């Protein structure tokens, strides 16, 4: 009976191994994908300056997820539009985004991006420096184009020091 169970387990493993597809390999992105990522990332600059997210919205998948530091995930196009309209309603941005490296993995293109510039409160006040890093995942669409699918962003600014201990 043990031999039958062992044979069944081995047969199951062999069938699973035969059906498994090889994992997609990470490769340098094509020149076309690198250029597409640069165009898409540049659309963030014009959106930030104008405060109008329409061009960027057309470059998002419907199931977009944006992961920002110290905040809940922003899920879906409507939530992303609401977030950026609120942010651009409070601040005027003069920023530049630049892809640092771009790779392809199956139908995904992954880019490491940095941005820098300033954000100025619309209600008045001094400009504040902006320096961020991103990991952007673009999903290839049926027509071959790329759209934002997942975005993680974090600041390059050092963390604030902890509050001073109370004195007694």
pLDDT digits (tens, 9 = 90+) for 39-55: 999 988 887 777 777 88
The CATH number of the domain covering residues in 26-155: 3.10.450.50
Indicate whether this model's pTM tops 0.75. yes
Q: Are 59 and 43 in contact (CB under 8 A)?
A: yes
Element (H, E) at 36: helix 31-50
Q: List the domain boundaries for the chain.
A: 26-155
Residue 84's CB: how many other CB atoms inside 10 A? 20
Which pLDDT tens digit goes with each residue over 3-15?
Answer: 556 555 545 555 5
Residue 164: predicted pLDDT: 79
Closest CA to 58 of 30, 74, 80: 80
Q: Which residue ranges of the chain lie beneath pLDDT 50?
A: 10
């Amino acid at each position: 009976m043990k031999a039958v169970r062992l044979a069944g387990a081995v047969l199951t493993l062999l069938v699973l191994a035969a059906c498994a597809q090889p994992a997609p390999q990470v490769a340098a992105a094509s020149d076309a994908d690198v250029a597409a990522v640069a165009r898409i990332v540049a659309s963030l600059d014009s959106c930030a300056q104008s405060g109008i997210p329409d061009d960027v919205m057309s470059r998002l998948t419907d199931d977009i997820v944006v992961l920002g530091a110290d905040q809940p995930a922003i899920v879906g196009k409507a939530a992303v539009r609401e977030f950026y309209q609120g942010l651009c309603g409070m601040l005027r941005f003069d920023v530049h985004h630049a892809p640092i490296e771009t790779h392809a993995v199956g139908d995904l293109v992954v880019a490491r991006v940095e941005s820098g510039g300033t954000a100025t409160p619309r209600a008045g006040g001094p400009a504040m420096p902006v320096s961020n890093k991103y990991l952007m995942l673009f999903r290839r669409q049926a027509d071959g184009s790329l759209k934002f699918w997942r975005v993680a962003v974090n600041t390059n600014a050092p963390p604030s020091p902890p509050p001073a201990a109370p004195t007694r």
